[in-house]
Amino acid sequence: MYEVILDQTALADILIVDDTHANLDVLVEMLEEQGYGARPVPSGALALQSARIQPPDLILLDINMPEMNGYDVCRRLKADENLKDIPIIFISALRDTADKVLAFDAGAVDYIAKPFQFEEVKARVQAHLHIYRMQKELAQQYAAIRTLEELKENLTQMIVHDMASPIQTIGMAVDLVLSGETNLNRENVEVLSRASDAARNLIEMVNSLLDISRMESGRMPLHRTDVDLRHLAEKAAETMHLLARAKNIRLTVQGPETALQVDRDLIRRVFVNLIGNALKFTPQGGEVMVTVSASDGSAKAEVHDTGMGIAEEYHERIFEKFGQIEADSLRQEHSSGLGLTFCRLAVAAHGGTIGVRSRPGQDSTFWFVLPIAERNARTQ
């Protein structure tokens, strides 16, 4: 595709700016023989006017001109949003290094000294036209990709948002049947309980998708309040108590009270996700321990488990959206791949960092660090 563009010289429109008509005539003849379209103008003011009416693909610009020199013309072109990307090559009799530096500082892409050689002009014009066209094509492709990404994101948000209501209705209906005085046998109750759990999991996934989308686009403001990180960890552990008891896992929270300013709900959900993951992948009779600490103006939380561990090559991937670990042993528990992405974005929104340490087959420790506001740090 790029080779075709290089051969289509007739499509290139070159603006030539020089107050010497003989130079203009020579350059026009040279360029037109190569199939380029050449537009000669004898002054900087006319060059600006011509470029604004019809932006060229490249500009050959002299420096020493009356009224407005080439440096000023170049600066004005680069200050125009519609013209700033057009490549400008200076062709001048000035040969001092200082003059060349001024040319590049003004925004030129190249500099050819007079008297010029046609082969040099031809080669440099061709090279910079090729670069310019490639840049334009990349910019167009990038814009198209951004448009597609926005369409995809909007469609995802619309679908996910519309999913929330019927899923909630299903969950409420199942819960209503389970709580009523109905003649259900044990098998029916078990089936409905699973349906209720599935509905709650789907609602959690929907909410996570919406929150992740809002955080990625910067549309989810933080509602910071004074909180105790140890207290948030305890509240999150309480919601996981039944799951821990069902698997006979010892779940503990330890560490001092640690005051800081965060969005209470977001950080509580970070704890819920990390503790929930630890319980999922810890076998019966294992242990999950949450530890909170503070030092050097930062608060740190760690969720340690005695589960199967995570190989080092997956330590970054698990925090990516829909990131999954391709290991048969980890497919025993269902995971949407959204929980850790939510944690990463929520912690990053607070100016913090998150990560994992793990020994495969032995244990894992997920940790995150949050900055403590100065006035809170003084009370530690």
- pLDDT, tens only, 318-376: 887 655 554 444 434 444 457 788 888 889 989 999 999 999 888 999 999 999 864 44
Question: What is the CATH topology of the domain spanning 142-216?
Answer: Helix Hairpins (1.10.287)
Residue 337's pLDDT is 55
- Phi then psi for residue 91, to 5 deg, are -125, 110
CATH number (3.40.190.80, 3.30.565.10, 3.40.430.10, 3.40.350.10) of 224-377 reads: 3.30.565.10
Q: Which two tokens stand for residue 323?
A: 């990131």
2-116 CATH: 3.40.50.2300
pLDDT, residue 117, reads 86
State residue 227's pLDDT score.
94
Helix (H, G, I), strand (E, B) or coil at 338: coil
Extract the runs of DSSP E, i.e. beta strands, from the chain. 13-17, 37-41, 58-61, 88-92, 110-113, 224-228, 250-254, 259-263, 287-295, 298-305, 353-359, 363-371
Q: Helix, strand or coil for residue 321?
A: coil
* Burial of 179 from C-beta contacts in 10 A (0-12 / 13-18 / 19+): exposed
pLDDT tens figures, 4-19: 334 444 578 999 999 9
Taking only the tens place, the pLDDT of each residue in 92-105 is: 888 888 988 999 99
Domain boundaries, the chain: 2-116, 142-216, 224-377
Residues in the chain: 380
Beta bridge partners of 88: 59
